Structure 1
Amino acid sequence: MHQKLVFYTFLLISCFEIRFASTTSDAITSTQFLKDPEELVSRNGNFKLGFFRPTNSTSRYLGIWYNNKPFNGQLEVVWVANRDSPIKDLTGMLKMSDDGNLQVLDAQNKIHWSSNISYKANSSVAQLLDTGNLVLLPDVGNTSIWQSFDHPTDSFLPQSTLVFNQSMPDDVPQSWRSINDPSRGQFRIVSLPRSLPECAIMEGDNLYYRSGPWNGYVFLGSSFPRSDVANAFSVVHGQDGTMEILYELVDPSIVQRFVLTYDGSLTQKHWSDSSKNWETVWQSFGSECDIYGKCGEFTMCNPVKAPICECLKGFVPKKVDEWSRGNWTNGCVRKTPLQCEVKGDKSDKFLLLRKIKVPDYAQRILASPDNCESKCLGDCSCLAYSYYPGIGCMLLNVSLIDMQQFSTDSVDLFVRLAYSDLQGEGSKRKVIIAVIAITSAAHIYLITFAGKRSRTISRETQFHDLPLFEFAKLATATNDFSVVNKLGEGGFGSVYKGVWDDGQQIAVKRLSRASGQGLQEFMNEVELISKLQHKNLVRLFGCCVEGEEKLLVYELLPNKSLDAILFDPELRKLLDWHKRFEIIQGICRGLLYLHRDSRLRIIHRDLKPSNILLDEELNPKISDFGMARIFGIKQDQANTQRIAGTYGYMSPEYAMEGRFSEKSDVFSFGVLLLEIVSGRRNNNFHDHESLNLLAYTWKLWNDKNILSLIDPTVFKPCYERQILNCIQVGLLCVQEFPTDRPNVSTLIFMLDVDDFENLPRPKEPGFTRSKVCSTSSEPQNGQEGYSENYVSMTAISGR
């Protein structure tokens, strides 16, 4: 009797331990399986995997949901395996098949779902990660052979990538059939076969919602908060029509996801710790105007007007009776035919529409802002055009459809009309242009006046837009500016690492009292960067002015400057080609903001690798604005008697004549681009006597041996065309004469073209006939070096 009691006690404990392990483990193997109602829990407890039953349903589904974060008392499910083949009882199980596949089975061993891969492993492991991703790992290696992120149901989670591929049309988010039925519904997210990357929501075979084109930051047809999108998404548009959207949050503590609801709305949901519930932050459908083509062709949909649809100027309803009854689907037609071939004053004109959703079927062409209009006017099929940074010139050659009036900043659209339909608009447009010109001139005057006046008034007034820190607080944060905390130094002074009381790290830039050159640069940086905010510019927290002490306080970027990694034989391996291209694009976006999109028009004048700082994800941020200058709205170039910058990155016209412009920054970027591709420094190029990197690149280009330039640590055949495209763009940027170089908006377009052979052919770069002198700040004795400072100093050299 005693032995039996011991046996049953042992059996009970064993069963409890097996049960306990199955509900807390994050993985299953070929010898362990998951049986309803057992659950897997991810390592840090973020997600659970198990069988669940929707409300008012008797069916059972294997799914993944947020752990301890219910919505109105219900599970917040993010992925469902057997969504179209439910199990009717509690006999479901998840196990590994003999061929290494994951399978959902019932008591009769009927397969309700399978990972369906051809890879065979003897002892595969399935693991639930804290990202909500279920991965299948082989017996050898840590690379997953299958993952749930590649097969989404209705949700899009952080750290995942949506891949839109025509050969795999089913592997896209598709809504539930109803709020309590996870089977495939009517709505799915797709990429549109357009020349510009766009997403859409389809209802069956009908287009239901269109995102508008991607401009490098956001989809322009969306009312989504711009800052959130810019920090969360990146888009890759492949030459074969594929598109990838990477969803990555900077702050991992934020809990959010996107879900395509059963009624067709893409919704961003955010977990609130205060309310202990899920809150809707944004959704794609804010009004009827978000429905694709709600008002028909040649119409504008405005959600704040009644009725919401109206014909564009110069157009009338196609079917008046239907229009008057509120049926706008047939749209509008043109009152007066376009003249097209007529020249002179009575030729076709353009009507300006502001803050517009770009119509469908926009085609991007290579054209500057100045000749985008002439490109459209010279094409009889062109009905409208638009120019937007990050995209460039867009022409509309088909009926204008799916237009919407936004209340926030968006795209300016120019609609082509017959001359007679725009009579009277010309004088109005002149008045508008005059007002803009006067306002801009006044703005520039105020900036200039404020800059001069600030030298004679109190420091509180000088820095009223910027937080002021006490010197004692900065001394404490940097441990009295300890040498241990010193990050680097230059002509300005030294930079120190600091830590606030709350643990936030900062970089403190301290003006040297012995510096005769730093005061002007200090004031310049305060005046400029405090007014600039962009994810590819370093962030200025504040400053300190006490007696002779002048300090700037920046965000601390953990990966130092670009040259610290790019020119290090070992660290450069961290920068594969994908990451290098992202850095190139990020620098471009930062420059575009400085040149065209910020409140001020800024010429940096000292773009170089040590002035490109890298955050924890190796994203680039342009720094050091001590040499930067403000340009007027219509100013093309300026002159200076004091040449300041770094030789090797200065353009010929600036180094020799003191003339600088946007094209000066483009030249510097071209040098930087070729350095990123080659992994070699322009100013310390010792492989070929009397040649710098520009000359060496030009020689290889003419010898048709340009592949020799590429850093072997990043070269792969799959990247060859993109890298060659970058080299050609780099050569176009460093051409001797400014007029031959592209502007930054054209540059961004060039980097994204499908065929580099259609780009202009570069001419000989400037500074190729003799070796460029390096400044004292550059490494000597033939050694490749890097700047050790997080916020680098500007090297200043006279001509």
Structure 2
Amino acid sequence: MGIFYFPCLLFLTMFSSYGFADITTSNPLSIRQTLSSPDGSFELGFFSPNSSQNRQYVGIWFKGVTPRVYVWVANRENPVTSSTANLTISSNGSLILLDDKQKTLWSSGEEVLTSNECRAQLSNSGNLVVIDNVTGTYLWQSFEHPTDTMLPLSSLMYDIPNNTRRVLTSWKSNTDPSPGEFLAELTPEVPPQGLVWKGSSPYWRSGPWVETRFSGIPEMDKTYVNPLKMVQDVVNGTGVLTFCALRNFDVSYIKLTSDGSVDIHRTNGDTTGWIKHFEGPLRSCDLYGTCGPYGLCMRSMSTPTCKCVRGFVPKSEDEWNSGNWTRGCVRRTELSPCQGNSSSTTQSKDTTDGFYRVANMKPPDAYELTSFGDAEQCRQGCLRNCSCSAFAYSNGIGCLVWNQELLDMVQFSEGGEFISIRLARSELAGSKRIKIIVFSTISLCVFIILVLATFCCWRYRLKQNGEARVAMEISEDSWKNNLKSQDVSGLNFFEMHTIQTATNDFSISNKLGQGGFGTVYKGKLKDGKEIAVKRLSSSSGEGTEEFMNELKLISKLQHRNLVRLLGYCIEGEEKILVYEFMVNKSLDTFLFDMKKKLEIDWPKRFNIIQGIARGLLYLHRDSFLRVVHRDLKASNILLDEKLNPKISDFGLARMFQGTQNQDNTNRVFGTLGYMSPEYVWTGTFSEKSDIYSFGVLMLEIISGKEISSFSCGEEDKNLLACAWESWSETGGVDLLDYDIADSESDSVEAVMRCVQIGLMCVQHQAMDRPNIKQVVTMLTSTMDLPKPKQPMFVLDTSDEDSLSLKSNDHKDLFSDDENIPAQEKP
């Protein structure tokens, strides 16, 4: 069976095993002895998965990598219960396991004719082989008898003429290697697909193979470097799926877990930790037949959501509405009487069946490959076949047809295939006359609505202009008097002469920073206390609203990771806020300075990330009001004398009450690169908008590079693109700022974890991003992290032309960075 390993010829050198003590009849392997591969990658020996010496197994594991991963087990169903046992070779060439009474507990198989001189050795690929010393023939090898794991060069296969197949069988549990209830195989369909069984029922399938990928796994898109290679011989009835290792990674494996998941793990040869590269099934929609026959599972949703495809209705309305979708859907209108193999052109177009095309689909199960040459022939062939319920034409496959009910249908947000589902003509768009009537009616309604909307807008503007003139006359004095008379708890009212004395009459030598809504100065009160004074510009049209907002809001918020407002001052046109002074100024002054960045090594940066997350947790969840900051960035993170972070600048913050979780504004303020896509394009903001900004900030803290000036590679990729590329190739470890890189394993693992969390936070869809409570949990635990989706780089801040274009297209929504109140930093 050695022919099944040749698709990965690059790795054949791994079989070298010279200078290595083998297992022979006279040299058995006993308990407490181990056998290593020549390069030290793998080890063979006795082990007990639950640390009990009463039940021992013979297995192979990765040597020197923790936690230990067992990749093959010999005596799964018959553990060693005695204190002594030996793995040896019988006189006829079989590998056998004997207990203390010389009873055979396990054997590699039937007796074979040999030269009576055999040895067993563990190769560098992790393959345990029995070799005839005289002929050099492989008599047996563990790669042909896998348990729950595939290593590079190993394979799954089927051989119909010889009635053989090679499958994976899960462990019963994490501590019990005996065969569990899950089995993974390569199906003999054309094209083949991967299928996981739970007992006698299908549990999860990969969809048919399309050239270089499985069509039912959207993660295997064009950017995915697939470690699998498929060879199918339809004529001879054989098929082989070989695992050829992950590119750029030293160690990797595929495992069928005890809960039915097919996972790919990898490491760069580090001795600690494994990184999950792939997991399937990943979501509830991936489970086989979640929505029943003709039921469509929407995988883009976080929870399984089923709907009947067009032309179908639930088989049981009561069960469907209660969330029990297993019985699926049935046709609302039966198909036209079957015409057999007659040409469809002889029938009326109003009576023949048609097709409804659905995009981004995982092809349903029970498909058949036909010989139809192109898409139109595929369509006509299905239409002439009385039992054909759907067809799909793919350049990578050809023409697939379904002659049974459609089962296990999933729709992705992107990727997948087009499926054309057969429907009665009445279920489609209808006759040309109906189309004209519908179109005319819609056009008339739209025209009427536009006329009414224009009239209402005109009336509203007249009213607003009148009210605005009156408001302008009274607003300048009334807001000051009202604010001054308010009891703003915990805040002091400072006289103007006190502020002038503290700042040396706003001396330029005391200036700390400047933004669109004013300037920030350092000051010192008579008692020696240092303060930061934000002096709002009198020419700023938006300053009053932001001043009122920040004053009322921050006075009610108290947390160690939020900057503290001490008081305010109002006199004439002056609007002033007084803060506690942060001796180390803002995070950006450290992070983006070539010398000062060396003062914040990775442990300090990780502490800053956690502190910002705790501050956001208070704003989003723990304060009596739910607050969205809306301008989270490095210049708005202040650092105290111990470099602990404090979130500042609440001029753009908004409050939510009750169950409200999002709002909308017709003016978008913030800083390009930090703003979430939904906020930029629609003005919609929520907690998830802050999460996006936090994700960008995390990646800046890790890399030490500012998103507005970051670029890497010949294509000048921006920070998000480079972070994704780094995570995909190395787990994110090479994104860490080179000037403070640390080789300690704990730091490396934390960096990789933070990069993955950052990428989860900047996912395009707000629903895909975690909330801040989940982020804090992920930062402080060792739980497995979900795989993020690739960010959509709609704001490429490294491209000035792109920025200019997008700013001009939305010039009524954006303010220049110079006019955004988030720029002030004490």
TM-score by length of 1: 0.48
Larger gyration radius, structure 1 or structure 2: 2
